[in-house]
Chains A and B, each alone.
Chain A
């Protein structure tokens, strides 16, 4: 293909987009809608994943000891738990420190309420903080610690606690979001492709005469196909570019407002960290949908 021919194809393809005015707008809109929803789901999944990761690393087990446990038992317990293969670290939080932490956590508002508690009346028990190597083993390790306590005389551990259920729920939610997202987006992408192939079919019908003459004077099928190919790619590109712009501007604002609100305990991944990944995928998908839609509709017309 010569350079002039390439220019001609690009020109013709672009002309077709405008020539089909509303049909092109419809195709571009359908691409925007489907890709936008895909983008929202992608951002959601990415953020939930990063949130889950952050939560994972914070998972630890607290074993509250009974108040009558002596130091020897405490140390033995600490050693026994520390020697479990799944456990990475055991730390003792003495009751005094526990009270201090608790007061700090409750903040100024509750200060008055906790004022009365001092060294002697401290209601907080000594606590063992246990960190595990693998977050998923937390429930298992917790039950193992309970069992261990039962083997001791007079059961030194009052209670074993961990973030029961929250982690499992989070993973379930991520998975559900992902599945729903895929189903949704798959359907929408198909619709977009159908609309594009229809748009291009209209172009072809309008240009049937021209195509007939082109074939008559000896144009190859590739030569006839190119402008339609360009048209589909353009529709896909414009649609996905608009989507990416809309999505990122909106998301950026969300990131900023989440950052500004200090009462929220989580943060959103900034656009800079995932922009290339999400944007690239959406653009690529848009082009693919556009090109596929156009190729599908010309194939039939060129068979004769």
Chain B
């Protein structure tokens, strides 16, 4: 599903973010990406949704050679990848419903489909009755649920989550994790970067640890392995 072969990434300012990473993530896996800040986790994920291109090496997602993708094909590949961020990235002027529907409008889905599908995912994330609220009227956890709804509304095969619980209190974080687990259970691959030791140690999944641009550990049902 996601396969990297000897991936190198050097930014124009000379930073070597990744130095020869090779990894394979199968369909339906749930992967934690751990490691200190600046180790290369974000670059790792940006390569998957083609925000960045590798300097060297091959990366394929869903069978597409992402590094060699023609620019005009990028949008179509992204429709199969949902992305979630620490800061939610909702549009402040749109309601919860509109934020989710936006992802479908952009791909020009028919109106009927947009309505049906949007309500479906809002129900899944438990915000059906808050559909018409603005992001400012929602709590952090609720905003992240809207963001998750937006990420999954296109039925992507992969979800990339960059510290999705980073801005949330522990209790809310668990709610989000249960939601992600549920989505994973329904058949979506999840790659999640996190600094949350409790979550990694409690909800055991595959753990990939990155340090200084290299994978230093890749462990099924692993633990967090750091003391911070």
Contact = CB atoms under 8 A, between A and B. Distances in A.
Interface residues of B, number: 20
A257 interface: no
Contacts of A8: 105
Interface in B58-91: 72, 75-79, 83, 89, 91
B108 interface: yes
Interface of B is mostly: helix
B35 to A, nearest CB: 24
A218 B91 contact: no
Given A4-B111, A213-B89, A213-B91, A218 B102 contact: no
Interface in A193-236: 209-210, 212-221, 223
Instruction: Please tell me the size bucket of the interface on A.
Output: 10 to 19
Contact of B91 (A2, A209, A215): A209
A299 to B, nearest CB: 13
Contacts of B110: 2, 4
A223 B91 contact: no
B86 to A, nearest CB: 14
A122 B174 CA distance: 120
Contact of B78 (A1, A2, A218, A221): A218
Closest 4 CB pairs of A and B: A218-B79, A217-B103, A219-B106, A218-B78
Interface of A: 1-2, 4-5, 8, 209-210, 212-221, 223
Contacts of B220: none
Contacts of B118: none
Contacts of B89: 209, 212-213, 216
B91 A210 contact: yes
Nearest to A304: B51
Nearest to A224: B106
Contacts of A218: 75-79, 103, 106-107, 154
B45 to A, nearest CB: 12
Given A8-B105, A209-B89, A213-B89, A220 B111 contact: no
Most buried by B among A4, A215, A217, A220: A217
B21 to A, nearest CB: 23
A283 to B, nearest CB: 31
A215 B108 contact: no
8 contacts: A2-B110, A4-B108, A4-B111, A213-B102, A218-B75, A218-B106, A218-B154, A219-B75
A216 B108 contact: no
Interface in B165-214: none
Interface string B106-141: 111011000000000000000000000000000000
Contacts of A214: 102, 106
A212 B90 CA distance: 11
A223 B79 CA distance: 14
B78 A216 contact: yes
Nearest to B83: A216
B150 interface: yes
A245 to B, nearest CB: 35
A118 B110 CA distance: 97
A291 B110 CA distance: 29
B49 interface: yes
Contact of A5 (B78, B108, B150): B108
B174 to A, nearest CB: 26
Nearest to A210: B91
A213 B105 CA distance: 12
Given A210-B91, A215-B75, A1 B108 contact: yes
Contacts of B77: 218
Nearest to A220: B75
Contacts of B107: 217-219
Contacts of B76: 218
Contacts of B105: 5, 8
A257 B65 CA distance: 74
